[in-house]
Amino acid sequence: MALGPRLDLRQSQSLVMTPQLQQAIKLLALSNLEIETFIGEALDSNPLLELGEAGPADAPEAPEELRRTHFESSPVDQLVGEGRADEDRPLDIDPTALDRDRDTGDGRGGDGGTAFDGEQRISGGGEGLEIDERGSVEATLAEHLHAQVGAAARDDQQLFVARWLIDQLDEAGYLSLPLSEAAQALGLPLATIEAALELVQSLDPTGVGARSLSECLALQAREADRYDPCMARLIDNLDLVARGELARIKRMCGVDDEDFADMLAELRGYDPKPGLRFGGGVAEAVVPDILVRASGGGWDIALNQATLPRLVVNRRYYVEMRGACVAKEAKAWLGEKLADANWLLKALDQRQKTILKVAAEIVKQQDGFFRHGVADLRPLTLRTVAEAIEMHESTVSRVTSNKYLHCERGTFELKYFFTSGVASTDGEGAVSAEAVKAAIRQLIDAEDPKAILSDDALVDLLKGRGFDLARRTVAKYREAIGLGSSVQRRRQKALAGVR
Q: What is the pLDDT of residues 122-141, one digit of tens each?
A: 333 334 344 344 444 567 88
Nearest to 88 by CA among 102, 78, 100: 78
Q: In 3D, which of 433, 454, 456, 430 has the Cα closest to residue 444?
A: 454
Per-residue model confidence (pLDDT) at position 457: 87
Overall average pLDDT of the 103-108 stretch = 36
Lowest model confidence (mean pLDDT) among 62-76, 239-253, 304-318: 62-76
Task: Identify the bridge partners of residue 49 per DSSP, sorted by sequence position.
Answer: 313
Distance CA 432, CA 374 (A): 9
pLDDT of residue 215: 92
pLDDT digits (tens, 9 = 90+) for 246-256: 888 888 888 88
Tell me how far apart the alpha carbons of residues 312 and 432 are, in angstroms, rounded to a whole number. 44
Q: Is the pLDDT of residue 179 over 80?
A: yes
Q: Poorest-confidence range of 72-81, 138-147, 390-399, 414-423?
A: 72-81
State the burial class of residue 92 (Cβ atoms within 10 Å of its Cβ: 0-12, 13-18, 19+): middle
String of DSSP letters for 241-290: HHHT-HHHHHHHHT--HHHHHHHHHHHHTS-S-GGGGS-SS--PPP--SE
pLDDT digits (tens, 9 = 90+) for 259-317: 888 888 888 889 999 988 886 544 556 788 899 998 888 889 998 888 777 788 888 88
pLDDT at 98 over 60: no
How many beta carbons lie within 10 A of that of residue 91, not counting itself?
19
Distance, in Å, from the CA atom of 104 to the CA atom of 380, rounded to the nearest integer, reads 7
Asked if 88 contacts 80 with a C-beta cutoff of 8 angstroms, the reply is yes
What does the pLDDT read at residue 339?
A: 87
pLDDT tier, 40 (very low <50, low <70, confident <90, very high otherwise): confident
Would you give the DSSP letter of residue 134? -
For 175-186, give the DSSP string.
--S-HHHHHHHH
For the chain, the average pLDDT equals 77
Which residue, 434, 438, 439, is CA-closest to 422?
434
The band of 73, judged by pLDDT with boundaries at 50, 70 and 90, is: very low
Cβ atoms of 374 and 433 within 8 Å: the answer is: no
C-alpha 188 chain-centroid distance: 46
Segment 159-187 mean pLDDT = 90
Q: How far apart are CA 212 and CA 178, in angstroms?
A: 11
Question: In angstroms, rounded to a whole number, what is the distance separating the alpha carbons of residues 264 and 226?
Answer: 12
The DSSP-derived string for 349-398 is: HHHHHHHHHHHHHHHHHTHHHHHH-GGGPPP--HHHHHHHHT--HHHHHH
Own/partner contacts of 410-413, CB < 8 Å, gap of 24 or more, are: 411/286, 411/288
Higher-confidence residue of 470 and 363: namely: 363
pTM above 0.75, yes or no: no
Residue 109 has a pLDDT of 39
Q: Which residues of 43-74 are buried (b: 16+ CB within 10 A; e: fewer)?
A: eeebebbbeeeebeeeeeebeeebbbbebbee
Q: What local confidence, expressed as pLDDT, does residue 362 receive?
A: 92
